Structure formats: structure tokens, C-alpha cells
Amino acid sequence: MARIGLVVNPAAGRDIRRLTGGASVVDDYAKRRVADCVLEGLTAVADPPAVGVMPDRAGIADHVLEEAPEELAADVLEIAVENTATDTRRAAARFREQEVGAVVVLGGDGTTRDVASEVGSVPVVAVSTGTNNVVPSAVDGTVAGVAAALVATGAVPAADVVERHGRIEARAETPNGEKRLTALAAAEVSSRSFIGSRALLDPDDLLGGVVSRAHPGDIGLPAVAGALEPIAPDGSGGVALRLTDPDDAPRTARAVLAPGVVATVGIESCERVDPDEPVAFEVPDGVVGADGERELELTDATVEFRVRSDGPRLVDVDATLSAGAETSAFALEAVDASPAPED
């Protein structure tokens, strides 16, 4: 029997951007409802896949199992729970080991990044229930479940509907040694000298960085790059930006930097970069972030960014459902309701 994995991050969608910006709160009840919808969506195919659920301390996994459709075989992964991002990475690694046909991820960019770090080549259906949502799609959970079932069961070949997303590696040389991080959509350099609340909110702090995708409809640095140099999520390479005070900049752009935050950004340079091409930033005192969250505090450091082409394999939900219809994956054989002939 085919099998999928379900990752629900209880912590996604609850950071400071709910207080300082316009992002909505996604509580545990809402996540349970979306997870319920995902499992219902799995029943759209004739032979639904089994599902394994990441355990948590918020009771989401237990609820999902209690409410699972009767025709589904569902269980909770037997892994240690630390109530940190380690849970997500550990679950993703287990799903990779189980060779599941797809993993559905409910969270934001951070959750998707954690899954991508361990899931290998398993197709990922990323559903937005987090804060900084550039990579995950704002798709109904039921529809996401249908797409995952089609891919996992082979009703739709994964090769036809899966796109390889880019990722960005950051390597910092500091007086105390080397530090690294990985981002999916954007790796940012901020002038803030401490991580603090983690969220990148003030446009005056943002010095630039590198993005693997760029569109005005994205959020954060990808939106800034998208105003000048758009690049598709599965496009080759990325875009490097260096920002400055709008009053002194050769050009400016209006962009959505966070939910509810639109700002004018001064752009010193905006250039396409090839895959694996190094882009260096000098950081006297600042922080390097990943996908809108500050991660590395640096002093007197040189940071080198490279866009890699081996990011997560993301399922195109719309393309998957269209392909499912073309292959009659939703069609049922007609039942002959005519009365049996009399003897």
C-alpha cells in the first residue's frame, strides 16, 4: 500500500509578526481542521494511501487519528518529541527512510525548510499555515490531500507535476570559526546585531542578500527582487541584492516585506547570479537570516552565499489535479442497477 507522511508544526503561525504586522493567527484548532481536511482528501482516490503523522505535544496528531476516515490506515510516528524544530527534521528523516510517496507539510517557510533538510527526494506538498509563506501554497487542505494521494499512489507520475525548488547556502567566516545556514527562498543580511524576536520587520535593518525566487507577490526580500528581476521558483540560479537608504539609492521599489508591512526600499544593485556562483557580503556587526527569520549573529565576518539547484521537490497542486482528471483518476465504474432477470 502507498503511504504518505503528514507534518503539522504546532509552533507555526504564532510569532511576533502577529502583533506587529497584519499576519493572522493560526492556532491549534485551525491546524487540526486543516489536517482533518488533508486526510479526507486522501480518500478521493480509489485505493487511498496509508498516512503517518508526526507526533506533538499539542494533541494535534492524536486528534487527527481519532477523526481519520474509516477507510484510511493511519498511525503516529514513533519518534522522540522535543517540542522544537528537531521534531520536524526527525519526522522528515523517518518518512524518507520509509520511502513514502509524498509528505504533506502544514507550516510556513521555516517548517518547509526543516522538512527539506531531511526528506531527500520525497515529493512535498507544502500548505501555508505559518507566518512567512513564500514557499508553501495557500491551498485548501482537502485539495492538498487529493494531490498527495494522486502522487503517492502513482495515479499521476511525480515527474510530471513536481518542480525542484532552489535553496541558498550561507557560509560565514568569523574570528571564531565557520558558521553555516540554509534558506529556501531568501538568505538576508540585517544590520541588527542580535537575533531578538527573530522576525525581520524593519526595512531600515535590511542590507540585502540572495534569493532563489523572486516575484512581487512574494513576501520579504523575494518581493523586492521580484519588483526588478523576477525568477520562477524552479528557475536557474537566483538574484543578489544590495540595499541602501532610499534617499541615496539609484533606484527604489515598493514591496511587501512582511504581512501587513509595505515599504519603500532603496536598491544599490540587483543582479542575477548563476547556480553555485558565490556572492560575498562583509558584515561588521549584524545578523544573517533565512526566509525572514534572523538566525546567525555575526561580528567582523564575511558571508558567502550560493544558490543551489537541489532544494525540495515541490508538488504543483493544480497541475496534479488537472493530470488526475486527464487520466480518469477520479472516475468510478458505473454500477449496473438494472434488476436481475427472472428465472
Query: What is the architecture, at CATH level 2, of domain 3-164+312-326?
Result: 3-Layer(aba) Sandwich (3.40)
pLDDT by residue (tens digit) across 258-314?
888 899 999 999 999 999 999 999 999 999 999 988 889 999 999 999 999 999 999
pLDDT at 88: 96
Q: What is the separation, in whole angstroms, between the first and last Cα of the chain?
A: 42
> What letter would DSSP give residue 268?
E
d(CA 107, CA 82): 17
d(CA 295, CA 287): 7
Closest CA to 238 of 229, 246, 247: 229
C-alpha 16, offset from chain centre: 19
pLDDT at 202 over 80: no
d(CA 201, CA 22): 12
More confident residue, 30 or 11: 30
d(CA 172, CA 177): 8
| Residue 85 burial (C-beta neighbours within 10 Å; 0-12, 13-18, 19+) | middle
Q: Which fold has domain 167-308?
A: Tumour Suppressor Smad4 (2.60.200)
What order of strands is seen across the sheet that includes strand 162-164? 74-76, 50-53, 3-8, 102-107, 124-128, 313-315, 162-164
More confident residue, 340 or 290: 290
Q: Residues 121-136, buried b or exposed e (16+ Cβ, 10 A)?
A: ebbbbbbbbbbbbbbb
User: Which helix (DSSP H) or strand (DSSP E) does residue 34 occupy?
Assistant: helix 28-42
Alpha helices by DSSP H, 68-188: 85-98, 109-119, 141-153, 158-161
pLDDT at 198: 52
More confident residue, 301 or 340: 301
Range(s) within the chain of domains with CATH label 3.40.50: 3-164+312-326
Considering the entire predicted model, what is its pTM?
0.89
Per-residue pLDDT band for 18 (boundaries 50, 70, 90) equals very low
pLDDT by residue (tens digit) across 55-101?
999 999 999 999 999 999 999 999 999 999 999 999 999 999 999 99
d(CA 13, CA 17): 9
C-alpha 24, offset from chain centre: 17
Residues 6+ apart with CB under 8 A from 4: 42, 49, 50, 51, 52, 100, 101, 102, 103, 104, 148, 149, 152
| Residue 212 burial (C-beta neighbours within 10 Å; 0-12, 13-18, 19+) | buried
pLDDT at 19: 45
pLDDT at 131: 64
d(CA 189, CA 228): 19
Neighbouring CB atoms inside 10 A of 231's CB total 22
> What letter would DSSP give residue 269?
E
Residue-wise DSSP of 169-195 = EEEEEETTEEEEEEESSEEEEES-SS-
Range(s) within the chain of domains with CATH label 2.60.200: 167-308
